Structure 1
Amino acid sequence: MGIEVGGILGLLWLILAIYAIVKIVGSSAGTGAKVLWIVLILLLPLLGLILWAIFGPK
């Protein structure tokens, strides 16, 4: 049995998305900003994570 690249990349995205969401929920940002970031990460997976990494954490 070989290791599928799509499976590994999907697992990596899932781990990063969960990490980002946990950091967002624990941040001091307002509720609207938190919801916006979480929706962005879930609807635009790669772009959302990149934008969050650049503009999200302070």
Structure 2
Amino acid sequence: MQSPFSGICGLIILILDVIAIVEVINSNRDTGSKVLWCLVIFFFPVGGLILYYFFGK
């Protein structure tokens, strides 16, 4: 049985990932860069989010 804490953490990560992907899509980057960042965030939810906020902005 999972604890409620793990479910809340998963939901928070999902919300932050969606926000980051929306920011990537709305940015002034070229299309290839947008696709690459979206894939990184999608396949590595926590690590991709951290990488985007430190190196992508």
TM-score (ref. length: structure 1): 0.89
What percent of counterpart residues are identical? Answer: 45
Which structure dedicates a bigger proportion of its chain to helix? 2
Return the alpha-carbon distance in structure 2 between the equivalents of residues 35 and 6 of structure 1.
29
Question: Which 4+ stretches in 1 moved above 3 angstroms?
Answer: none
2:20 equivalent in structure 1: 20
Gapped regions of structure 2 (runs ≥ 5): none
- Write the mapping of 1:2-21 to structure 2, written as runs, cut at 5 A: 4-21=4-21
Q: One-letter code of the match for 2:31?
A: T
2:47 equivalent in structure 1: 47
Return the alpha-carbon distance in structure 2 between the equivalents of residues 28 and 8 of structure 1.
32
Q: CA deviation at 1:19?
A: 0.5
How many residues of Structure 1 are paired with residues of Structure 2 in the alignment? Answer: 55
Return the alpha-carbon distance in structure 2 between the equivalents of residues 50 and 5 of structure 1.
21
1:36 equivalent in structure 2: 36
TM-score (ref. length: structure 2): 0.90
